[in-house]
Structure 1
């Protein structure tokens, strides 16, 4: 039961028709996809080196593996989307008639063309300056807390340091996407140092996170915070259901997900033989596991030097603060909007439509501290854009996105308003139908504490 409580989701294993959904675009009817050729070549999108065969075998450059897929025009539905939602979703029709699940009247290439060219430039010196800034703050906070060592300071330290651990994760996340720099070796070295320091296996996470980006919004194939099917949901006992949808338990899931993935899916981010990985990725996974083990051993050694209680105060509590930040942010980027947003299956899913169901969030003063990761829609569509260009790229893309972009609710200095969004979503967003290619979350009225859907 505990594994259900601490998991991100509970989806049955992928059917054989999706044996390894990490090769990029997945479409049930390839004959209805055409690749666009224009003056902007496919190479403009800065993809990793990748070759796909009918057997799904690939040869890739290991250093840079997360990117947007090929530019794709979905022949079916474009005109239907225009009729339903008007041009760019802002036509003459009333707002009540806007259908977020309809195919948009624009393509990925249209959004890309609206983004200024300099937003795609990766500056390693600028990226490293953020690393230096964050590392200095982390050590400064630890030194100050250890020196003052009183119970007025410690809670403030835990909140601040947990947030800084989360900031380190976001920079390592940029390395995993290749948006940190053009140099794969630099990305890998910095990514390992940052993620290992907060007990995240860099390559293991990077590969599964690529799966999330390449399948975002897909009910079964998405890797992060995707819905429970009704069949799986009904199979849970009442205690598990209550805990699964009650704060703070879902916000403690991440370490357990790294070790055992989600129920219904097998594999560990630490095991090079896990079905998360293909054979030519095993060396990378071993490297990350060794780095993670070295950091764990260092922490154990420091416990002997400084004492376990002091290490708990300096590192253990901030680590769990980081975990809660990670789960909160990643959950709210895909859940909790005032209007129900669709999830897709089969021929209705596309990379673009899945990406348009993600949400931007405003975190107030935290926006700068965690490197604008709340600017999430453009990041999901174009993860190769560096974090320091995301705000500008989003502003440039808004006229194209129209109503498919949902303005985030403005935050005060601290984003306390998001706690209410989280709790309300957990009360309403319980499962999706086992059938249908465009589905929405449904609410179980028998679940204690659940509220009526909006």
Structure 2
């Protein structure tokens, strides 16, 4: 059941009706427009493919999503995206990328220096992570019980930096020496109990197939067929993609990286080596921690920071590629440039998080080319803003953004991108309606 929860996918073929929403602006219909001013919805006369939608003015008590194409006027289209940005918690929702733009065109627009590996900067990032993690362990040891959550938050964020270092190693953007990258990547992942090679193989597929239905190995929308399959599974999916979503990477980690059957024969040998390293840490490191500090010490010094790491792992990943206006597409419709430039989100976090996590959330250039080292991502992003700025999705982390993802981005629908759980089964969707009530709507 848990495996199906992570891999949830079933095509939604239901009819497309207008629907009432209690939020300011409801789920985005793609392509579509929703303009709400007070309690009046204006549906403008616009062209959509080969027919016209008539002019219509409707007084409503709640916002209603209308499947309609964005107006051809650039001014209206900009206003439309501005309203969606405000509703979803974004600073900017990017203008669609022209179909004739290739990913190669975007890569070639970047300055060559952003691809250059700098050994001093690379090892400086290692020093920052080791120092910040060591400080975190001291904080945990010295902090009174009521300050432990702050110490855990710092330490969990610091070891997320270890993941980013291993992440650069996997993308060959840490060192010019492949053996050094494999050693550093394996060591960086070991405290996280993350097998380096299995993750690398699956993560490469995520980059090659970003936001492609079925093929992408990161977050997926839920398939309606699975959502409807069994009450127990449905409830597990609702909780997993609702209140537990900031820790869903734990299920992904467990189900994707330890099963040898998920890898090609030529990958299995390297996978086994990584698994051996992880199990060695578990069978040697954990007993040493328990011997020195006891079971409660293992919880304090390892488990709680590890849960903090997974909070960031889940949050970063879902924010990077999940929004009501960002579609998942079949392999036949998928376009690499649109997925990597127009379907990836840049999200700014507080400065201390950006430093400890080595700018991993400057994420659009990383998807344009994974070979860009983390310390060059900001320079690459500046170049993208200069050359492709109107197409970028940008945000600063806020509660409204998280609320949008956790309460709307659920079941796959080709026309609307996502359908929220509570639209399909309100009775079982109490966790979602609860989140809508209690999560702040601050942006």
Q: TM-score range by the shorter chain?
A: 0.7 to 0.9
Q: Show the counterpart of 2:306.
A: 319
Q: Which structure 2 residues correspond to residues 222-301 of structure 1 after superposition, within 5 A?
A: 222-237=216-231, 238-247=234-243, 249-261=244-256, 269-271=257-259, 273-275=260-262, 277-297=263-283, 298-301=285-288
Normalized against structure 1, the TM-score is what?
Answer: 0.72
Is 1:160 aligned to 2:158, yes or no?
Answer: no
Q: Show the counterpart of 1:106.
A: 101
Instruction: Find the residue that maps to 1:106 and give its secondary structure.
Output: coil
Q: Which structure 2 residues correspond to residues 36-435 of structure 1 after superposition, within 5 A?
A: 94-95=77-78, 103-146=98-141, 148-237=142-231, 238-247=234-243, 249-261=244-256, 269-271=257-259, 273-275=260-262, 277-297=263-283, 298-336=285-323, 340-355=325-340, 356-365=342-351, 366-409=353-396, 415=397, 417=398, 419-433=399-413
Q: Distance between the aligned counterparts of 1:398 and 1:174, measured in 2?
A: 23
Would you say the 8 A contact 1:430–1:443 is kept in 2?
yes
- Structure with higher Rg: it is 2
Would you say the 8 A contact 1:106–1:400 is kept in 2?
no
Q: Deviations over 1:255-309 (max 9, x none)?
A: 3322223xxxxxxx224x323x222211211110011011111112321232111
Would you say the 8 A contact 2:101–2:337 is kept in 1?
no
Would you say the 8 A contact 1:100–1:342 is kept in 2?
no
Q: Deviations over 1:422-450 (max 9, x none)?
A: 222221112113xx5x7611224223335
Normalized against structure 2, the TM-score is what?
Answer: 0.73
Q: Distance between the aligned counterparts of 2:371 and 2:359, measured in 1?
A: 15
Change beyond 3 A, Cα 1:346–1:109: closer
Q: Distance between the aligned counterparts of 2:178 and 2:10, measured in 1?
A: 35
Change beyond 3 A, Cα 1:189–1:159: same
Instruction: Find the residue that maps to 1:408 and give its secondary structure.
Output: strand
Q: Distance between the aligned counterparts of 1:236 and 1:131, measured in 2?
A: 47
Structure 2, unmatched stretches of 5+, are 12-68, 82-93, 437-443
Q: Distance between the aligned counterparts of 2:303 and 2:172, measured in 1?
A: 30
Tell me the CA shift for residue 220 of structure 1.
1.4
Tell me the CA shift for residue 2 of structure 1.
5.3
Would you say the 8 A contact 1:121–1:385 is kept in 2?
yes
Q: Distance between the aligned counterparts of 1:322 and 1:236, measured in 2?
A: 32
Tell me the CA shift for residue 195 of structure 1.
0.3
Q: Show the counterpart of 1:71.
A: none
Q: Show the counterpart of 1:54.
A: none
Q: Deviations over 1:197-247 (max 9, x none)?
A: 211100011111111111001111111111112222222525334313322
Change beyond 3 A, Cα 1:218–1:101: farther
Instruction: Find the residue that maps to 1:170 and give its secondary structure.
Output: helix
Q: Deviations over 1:401-437 (max 9, x none)?
A: 243212323xxxxx5x2x432222221112113xx5x
Q: Distance between the aligned counterparts of 2:311 and 2:363, measured in 1?
A: 18
Is 1:10 aligned to 2:4, yes or no?
Answer: no
Change beyond 3 A, Cα 1:399–1:144: closer
Would you say the 8 A contact 2:10–2:224 is kept in 1?
no
Q: Distance between the aligned counterparts of 1:150 and 1:102, measured in 2?
A: 53
Instruction: Find the residue that maps to 1:343 and give its secondary structure.
Output: coil
Tell me the CA shift for residue 85 of structure 1.
10
